[in-house]
Structure 1
Amino acid sequence: MDDIVRQALAKWPNVPHCTGWLLLDRRGNWRMRDDEAQARGAPGEPIRHAALLAFINRNYEADAGGQWFFQNGPQRVYVELGYTPWVVRLGLNDGDGAKATLTLTDQAGNAFEPAAAYLDDEGGVLFTDTSTPPRIAVLHDHDLDLFSEHAELAANGDAGRFHWRDGMTLPLQPVARAEVAEQFGFVASPAQAAAPKNAAS
């Protein structure tokens, strides 16, 4: 978290939280959602400003309840998730002429070292990493072809192996997309979680 954000939190500790206005989509794009976009259930407009994107990425965290947020100065802006809190790109690093190795990079541009791999029931590929607690990330759909070049799938398509690098192979474990948030401990929609429930009649 940026020092300027910590200072703002200390100065204004009781600024109300914000929900519904910021979305991380399935391809790792940050999107701003105005009232109209929220009313229509639309993803909103992509944020293109490089400095703002860097600021969001540096101040992106989760609370104790698994809700991800961007700390915007003194205000906590909770993030709607298109799928998982992290989105990764799979690439090849030539290594200055050495044998090419696979790389995973999250939406903030940081290296993501996989510890486990999963296949969901809609054809998505997910990874957890080696951090504590582990982060869960979905693979960008543009990288599925490269993934398939380094994977072996079982005949039923819901298991197999992913050949990472340096002799490291990860079993591909099946997971239901509808159960991913609960299984990996995150809240996909803080706005819905915060919405008041209808009173019982």
Structure 2
Amino acid sequence: MDEIVREALVKWPNVPHCTGWLLLDRRGNWRMRDEAAQARGAAGEPIRHVALLGFINRNYECDARGQSFFQNGPQRVYVELGYTPWVVRLAVSAEGPLVLSDQAGNAFEPAAAWLDDEGSVLFSDAATPARIAVLHDHDLDLFSAHATLSEDGSGGAFAWRADAMLSLQPVQRGEVAGRFGFVASPAALAAQGARGSD
């Protein structure tokens, strides 16, 4: 987290949280969702400003309830997720082995892998708690070149390194958020809480 953000939190500790306005889409793009986009259930406009993207990525975290957020100075902006809290890209490094990097460009070292029932590939890392990430769909061909799948396509193995094979475990997309402990829509959760308090 940026030091300027830490200072703002100390100076203004009681700024209300914000939900619904920021989305991380299935391809790792940050999107702004104005009221019209939220009303339509639309993804919103991609953020293209390089400095703003860097600021969001440096101040992106997850709370104890599994809700992802961007700490925008003193205000916590909860993030709607297109799928998982992280999106990774797969590439071949200049030295030859495969590398994974998250939407912020940071290295992502996979510890386990899954195939969901809609054809998406997911990875978790060894962090505590583990981060769960979906593979960008543009990288499925490269993934396939290093994977072997069972006949029914529900499992297999991924050759991450010459000496490291990751078993591909099946998972249902609808179970991913619950299984990995994240909230895909903090805005929907907030709305449920508001209805429950009426």
Q: TM-score range by the shorter chain?
A: over 0.9
The letter of the residue matching 2:153 is G
The letter of the residue matching 1:88 is V
Alignment partner for residue 115 of structure 1, among 111, 117, 127? 111
Q: How does 1:117-196 map to 2 (within 5 A)?
A: 117-195=113-191, 196=194
Other-structure match for 1:35: 35
1:199 Cα shift? 8.6
Alignment partner for residue 195 of structure 2, among 175, 189, 197? 197
Task: Tell me whether 1:84 sits opposite 2:61 in the alignment.
Answer: no
CA RMSD of aligned residues (A): 1.2
Cα distance between partner residues in 1 of 2:109 and 2:15: 36
The structure 1 segments of at least 4 consecutive aligned residues displaced by more than 4 Å after TM superposition are none
Task: Tell me whether 1:20 sits opposite 2:20 in the alignment.
Answer: yes
Q: Which runs of 5+ in 2 are unaligned?
A: none
Q: Residues 140-174 of structure 1: CA distance to partner in whole angstroms, max 9, x if unpaired? A: 00000000000000001000000001310000000
Q: Identity across aligned pairs (percent)?
A: 74
TM-score calculated relative to the size of structure 2:
0.97
Cα distance between partner residues in 2 of 1:72 and 1:148: 38
Q: Residues 158-195 of structure 1: CA distance to partner in whole angstroms, max 9, x if unpaired? A: 00000001310000000000000000000000000000
The letter of the residue matching 1:45 is E
1:130 Cα shift? 1.7
Other-structure match for 2:6: 6
TM-score calculated relative to the size of structure 1:
0.95
Q: Which runs of 5+ in 1 are unaligned?
A: none
Tell me how many residue pairs correspond in the alignment. 196
Q: Residues 23-46 of structure 1: CA distance to partner in whole angstroms, max 9, x if unpaired? A: 000000000000000000000000
1:198 Cα shift? 7.0
